[in-house]
Amino acid sequence: MKQTSLIIFILTIISNSLFGQTHPEINIRFSKLYAIYDFTQKLSDYYPDNEYKESFKSSKYNTEKYTKLITQIDTLDIHESYSFKKFPVTQKRSVMTISMLQKNLINSTSLEEFKSKTFGIVPSSELIKFSSVLSAFEPIYDSLIYLPNKQAFENKLKMLSDYVKKSSLSLLFKSGLNFYASQWDNSIPLDITIIPSKGMGFTATVFFNQAVSEVPLDFQQNDVLFSVLMHEVYHIQYDEQPLKVKQNLQLWFKENTSQNSTYAYLLLNEVLATALGNGYVFEQLNGKIDAGEWYNNWYVNLMAKEIYPTVKEYLSKGKTIDKDFVNKYISIYDNKFSDWNNELDNLMTYRYIVTDDIKDITYFSKNYRNASIRYTEVPVKDADLNKIKEKPITKVFIISSNNKDELNTIKNTFPELKNWNYNDKSEFVYTTSLQDKTKLIVINRITTPFIELFEKEFKNKRIK
């Protein structure tokens, strides 16, 4: 018996050596460089008030020199992106240069190494300025945040690392890959970067094979923490579905005759990540389902809980998402939540706003904050209407000048409007459904402020 066990053990080692690991390695670590970068972001005027700002403002470092550096990092030309044009629109995230910079910060042990890895991704002049700001803020971060909490944080990091080693996160990662029909090279690790937090809650975000979480030192609910982290990881897996899988998903939603199928499709990514992470992972780690809210968005939370039994069934049987799953998902949406397509809080989560006035954009940003897909164009006359027409999301046109010409251009762009009659000299709000099953809203304003027209038309944020 001992000899048989030894043979199995040796064969396992040989198999892993020849064919690679059976699961990706999950690493828990701290990145000083990323933590300093995150610290500077929280000091920005664009960031809400927080304990980091309070610590900085009451410290000896609150000088003109450092406040100028905070302002400078907000204005650097380091934000560009490129998309994968063969993938269905909205179903493959663009690669952003800032994510490349963040990954290189995590994977570098010094600013010199970071600059060497990052050279060529952004203009060198911007890279030098960016690195200089981080260098200037390292002693500030050490003094105010890191060193006073160093021992407590190292203890926290070890505890989380031990928890991962004892848990089944690698198996849960693999289950997600199978469900999504995604591909992953197991030699590529999943790196989870933990940074200390002075706040009350924790945050989680992902890019590439990196997950980052800001964790309060006194936070003890590891099942909650890692269910949220895995939620974000499942977004990576959804994003990494092969082109053919993405095309099949798009086809299954298009073939379904439901008028709700497009908005159900737009909701899918967040719903699945919630059902998998906040539902399945939590239940596996905790031994029971989370009885509370799974997600802080009404639509995602309700839909995730409704589809969860189906998701769990697919996971337990090792099944991959298929046409039957999609039809079941849309059927739940139709039977329980079809009225969501009249609610602006849902429709404006996926939006393209075209306007002559930047203040209109601010209105939507303030009043419809849960925007997972957001595009804007200012002014209307410079917008590429054919590009806008191709995106299966809510489209809002606010006309404030050259009304006749711009309304005519919109009418000629969308075939569904060929019989649309309007008076360009009268103020109105027009709403219709397009062939892609999304909403089109046109606001023609003459003298009345846009907000007044919009809110009068959509009382209680609903389409009449």
C-alpha to C-alpha distances, 377 to 84, 165, 352, 449, nearest whole angstrom = 21, 48, 8, 19
Which domain, by its residues, includes 352? 344-461
223 and 246, same domain (yes or no): no
DSSP string, 89-157: TTSSPPEEHHHHHHHHHHT-SSHHHHHHHHBTTB-HHHHHHHHHHHHHHHHHHIIIIIGGGHHHHHHHH
Q: Please report the pLDDT score of residue 200 as a whole number.
A: 58
363 and 404, same domain (yes or no): yes
* Nearest Cα residue to 277 out of 329, 223, 331: 223
126 and 219, same domain (yes or no): yes
363 and 419, same domain (yes or no): yes
Q: Which residues of the chain have pLDDT under 70?
A: 1-22, 199-201
Strand-strand pairing, 350-355 and 95-96: unpaired
User: Other CB atoms closer than 10 Å to residue 284's CB: what's the count?
Assistant: 18
* Amino acid at the residue 51: E
332 and 396, same domain (yes or no): no
Q: Which residues contact 30 (CB under 8 A, 6 or more apart)?
A: 153, 157, 193, 194, 195
Domain limit, last residue, from 289, 323, 340? 340
- Examine residue 17 and state whether it is found in any structural domain, yes or no: no
- Examine residue 5 and state whether it is found in any structural domain, yes or no: no
Q: Which residues contact 237 (CB under 8 A, 6 or more apart)?
A: 176, 177, 180, 182, 184
150 and 35, same domain (yes or no): yes
* Amino acid at the residue 252: W
- Examine residue 14 and state whether it is found in any structural domain, yes or no: no
- Examine residue 196 and state whether it is found in any structural domain, yes or no: yes
Tokens of 174: 């693999």
Q: Are 398 and 353 in contact (CB under 8 A)?
A: yes
Domain limit, last residue, from 181, 200, 234? 234
172 and 66, same domain (yes or no): yes
297 and 408, same domain (yes or no): no
187 and 88, same domain (yes or no): yes
182 and 58, same domain (yes or no): yes
- Examine residue 9 and state whether it is found in any structural domain, yes or no: no
Q: Are 262 and 438 in contact (CB under 8 A)?
A: yes
- Examine residue 36 and state whether it is found in any structural domain, yes or no: yes
CATH number at 455 reads: 3.30.379
Tally the domains of the chain. Answer: 3
- Examine residue 18 and state whether it is found in any structural domain, yes or no: no
106 and 189, same domain (yes or no): yes
pTM of the model: 0.85
DSSP string, 327-352: HHHHHHHHHHHGGGGGBHHHHTTEEE
Domain limit, last residue, from 340, 367, 386? 340
445 and 299, same domain (yes or no): no
- Examine residue 3 and state whether it is found in any structural domain, yes or no: no
Maximum alpha-carbon separation in the chain: 91
